[in-house]
Every structure is written in structure tokens, then in C-alpha cells.
């Protein structure tokens, strides 16, 4: 039976169509999928695309970074309170973490009052405290920066040194979504 093994020239459909047009492939040999492809073609033609061996040094990516307005609040929360008192329960799809409750309470208070950010944060913390969630203040920047310095030089990870820095925490939280 006639065929064309040039996968880099045109698409599967174009090759078979041209083989039939030219008479090399008889109508009786028409593949099953031909009519179906003709009736329902794909959104993009499956042409072979040559991969560029030499890429630009500064690749401009067209994929936008996803950030929400609440991320600012989340960043403040993690900076000041660390991971939060409760761990994430990933098995429950309706789970609301401590950080998320903080964000929800913050947006609620923001819609009601006209205070500025820092005061609003304090208010939110107090509101959550009244609801029964205790937020433990973690060590602030100067101390943790020194700790980070120590970490980068000594690559040992003993259990009591696991109170990691803000950046590492951010990255750790980022992988929780899977």
C-alpha cells in the first residue's frame, strides 16, 4: 500500500489527501480516519515545528505570572506569623487555612472601615484572636537574616534548624497546591 513517511512535511491529513488526489492511493485504500478528520479538523494543524537549537539569552516569556490582590496580605501574614498554627489538610477540598481566614477577615474589615494597611493587619489579628485562632509572632527580620546567612554557608539541616527563612517558606508554601 502507498504511504508517505515524511513526518516533517505537512500534516498526516495533507499527505494522505495529496496521495489520493494524485492517484497513488486508491479510494478503496482510504483510511478510516480521513472523513472524520475532514469533518472535524483539529484547532491547530499538527505541522512539525523545528526546535530552535540556539535560543535567545533573555527569553521573553508570554506566560503571565499569576498574582492576586490578596497575595500582599498573604505575604504579610507569612512574614509575621510564619506557617501559621494549623497545617494544611489537603485531603479536604473545602479546607480553609489560617492564612486564608486571615485574608478573608482582612477583606471583610477593609470593605467596612477606611483604615490604612498596617492598622488593618492589627485589627484582623485581633479579630481572629477573638474567634479563637492564636497567631504566634515569629522572629523578625534581623535575626532571621543572620540565620539565613549561616544556612547558606553550612549545608547541614539538623531538625532544630528547620525554622527556615521567609524566602524558603514562600517556596515551600508554593508547592502545596499540588
Partner 1 sequence: MAFRALTKGLFGLRHSRGVTVKYSCDGHFATAASIQSPQPQTDDVKEKILQLPLKSPDYFRVSELFSLKDLFNARVHLGHKQGCRHRLMEPYLYGCRLDQDIIDLDQTMEHLQLALNFTAHIAYRGGVILFVSRRRQFCHLVETTAKECGEYAHTRYWQGGLLTNANIQYSPGVRLPDLIVFLSTLNNVFQQHVALRDAAKMNIPTVGVVDSNCNPSLVTYPIPGNDDTPVAVELYCRLFKMTINRAKDKRRQMELLHGLFTPTPSSS
User: Given the complex with partner 1, which of 61 and 130 has the nearer CB atom?
Assistant: 61
The closest alpha carbon to 18, from 6, 32, 48, belongs to: 6
Binding residue (CB under 8 A) for partner 1 from 21, 57, 65, 69:
65
Binding residue (CB under 8 A) for partner 1 from 52, 54, 153, 155:
52
The closest alpha carbon to 106, from 96, 117, 91, 97, belongs to: 117
Binding residue (CB under 8 A) for partner 1 from 21, 22, 23, 51:
51
- Least spacing, CB of residue 11 vs partner 1, in Å: 8
Q: What are phi and psi of 97, to 5 degrees?
A: -80, 170
User: Given the complex with partner 1, which of 58 and 130 has the nearer CB atom?
Assistant: 58
Grid cell at residue 33: 480516519
Binding residue (CB under 8 A) for partner 1 from 21, 23, 27, 40:
40
Counting contacts by CB under 8 A, is residue 49 touching partner 1? yes
Binding residue (CB under 8 A) for partner 1 from 22, 58, 61, 94:
61
The closest alpha carbon to 75, from 142, 169, 141, belongs to: 169
CA 123 from chain center: how many Å? 31
Q: What's the CA gap between 84 and 28, in Å, rounded?
A: 69
- Least spacing, CB of residue 76 vs partner 1, in Å: 16
Grid cell at residue 97: 487555612
Q: What's the CA gap between 37 and 60, in Å, rounded?
A: 35
Counting contacts by CB under 8 A, is residue 37 touching partner 1? yes
User: Given the complex with partner 1, which of 7 and 108 has the nearer CB atom?
Assistant: 7
The closest alpha carbon to 128, from 166, 91, 158, 102, belongs to: 102
Q: Which positions touch partner 1 (CB under 8 A)?
A: 3-7, 11-13, 15-16, 31-33, 35-37, 39-40, 42-44, 46-49, 51-52, 55, 61-66, 93, 170-171, 174-175, 177-178
Amino acid at each position: 500500500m502507498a504511504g508517505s513517511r515524511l513526518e516533517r512535511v505537512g500534516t498526516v491529513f495533507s499527505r494522505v489527501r495529496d496521495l489520493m488526489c494524485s492517484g497513488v492511493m486508491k479510494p478503496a485504500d482510504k483510511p478510516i480516519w480521513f472523513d472524520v478528520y475532514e469533518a472535524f479538523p483539529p484547532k491547530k494543524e499538527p505541522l512539525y515545528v523545528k526546535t530552535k537549537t540556539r535560543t535567545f539569552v533573555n527569553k521573553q516569556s508570554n506566560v503571565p505570572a499569576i498574582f492576586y490582590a490578596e497575595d500582599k496580605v498573604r505575604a504579610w501574614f507569612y512574614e509575621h506569623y510564619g506557617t501559621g498554627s494549623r497545617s494544611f489538610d489537603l485531603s479536604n477540598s473545602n479546607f480553609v487555612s489560617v492564612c486564608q481566614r486571615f485574608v478573608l477577615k482582612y477583606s471583610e474589615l477593609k470593605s467596612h472601615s477606611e483604615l490604612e494597611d498596617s492598622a488593618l493587619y492589627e485589627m484582623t489579628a485581633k479579630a481572629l484572636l477573638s474567634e479563637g485562632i492564636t497567631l504566634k509572632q515569629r522572629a523578625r527580620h534581623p535575626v532571621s537574616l543572620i540565620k539565613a546567612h549561616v544556612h547558606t554557608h553550612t549545608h547541614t539541616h539538623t531538625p532544630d534548624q528547620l525554622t527556615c527563612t521567609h524566602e524558603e517558606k514562600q517556596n515551600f508554601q508554593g508547592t502545596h497546591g499540588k
